[in-house]
Amino acid sequence: MTNRAAHDSIPETALGWHRDGKGAALATVVETWGSAPRQAGSQLAVSGDGEMTGSVSGGCVEGAVVTEALEALADRRPRILTFGVTDETAFSVGLACGGTIRVLVEPVGEGDQALAAPLLADLVAARAAPRAVALVTDTNTWTRRLIPAGADAAVDARLKSDRSGLEDDGRLIAVHNPPLRLIVVGAVHIAQPLVAIAHTCGYAITLIDPRAAFGSDARFPGQTILDDWPDDALATLAPDARTAIVTLTHDPKLDDPALRFALRAPVFYIGALGSKKTHAKRVDRLTAAGFSEAEIARIAAPVGLDIGARTPAEIAVSIMAQITAALRL
């Protein structure tokens, strides 16, 4: 999981195999050192028939992990494995140098140390909702529980950073965040490189523009484009705490309804294109509409980090950098 960048279906697959009577084990990267192929939290599911989905090493140690997973299904006991990836092996899978990874392998289903199927089902339900949760495993006692956002400081820190890992107290916190979303209001020229960069960063992207000449498939091939009025479209999309909203139309008739909606939504980032003079007028309009100074201060405007950007592509870089800072810092 980086955690859910591609909204993987590894827990769902493992649960399905278990329910089908095939048996299932989950392997999760616990810790890494050096140039490890996959980061902590990455997962591999293995069925009792030896089927597998996902990855814990990019191919370096999968065979050994599958063997251990089948043994875990037989003895119903979890285990933590340590693998050293040599420089030669690392080079064969595209890494500059080797590293070390620790992998937790646990059977699903029966056994007092196994990952209980009802708990895995609860995790799958949370992912489908989607709700931000962490599956927390005490590697000293093999007790497990799902912890939602806001219930544990260590979990919240890892949900914020999107980084699974092992705590000093022996708890493995495996992060399951909803996918990141970027909603762009205004299918203008800057939106084209911004969409491309955001896609590379793992965001699911929706463009909103009621103007047919702008929001066309020819200009944004393969992208989700809504031609509703911005506030109506946003109400349908129901943006959450893993959503960023950027307005780019430079037209108050389109940007203002989107901003009024965004300011009352739990999104982590709101950005608006426009000069300082344009934003000052925007602030006056939002103030007249009843928004407080603190609410309006949530808007990053002029949008993007001040890196001297001039071209649409450079401005898109500055916007994506600012979104990333809002998410991670």
Task: Give 164-217 pLDDT, tens digit per residue.
Answer: 999 999 999 999 999 999 999 999 999 999 999 999 999 999 999 999 899 998
pLDDT for res 35: 63
Residue 148 forms beta bridges with which residues?
Answer: 133
CA distances from 137 to 68, 82, 167, 205 (A): 19, 18, 10, 33
pLDDT for res 39: 85
Domain boundaries, the chain: 10-176, 181-328
Which uninterrupted H or E stretch holds 67?
helix 62-75
Mean pLDDT for 269-289 is 97
- The closest alpha carbon to 256, from 234, 227, 241, belongs to 234
Fold of 181-328: Rossmann fold (3.40.50)
CA distances from 207 to 48, 180, 268, 312, 314 (A): 43, 15, 18, 17, 20
* pLDDT over threshold 70, residue 2: no
* pLDDT over threshold 70, residue 93: no
| pTM score, whole prediction | 0.81
Mean pLDDT for 270-284 is 97
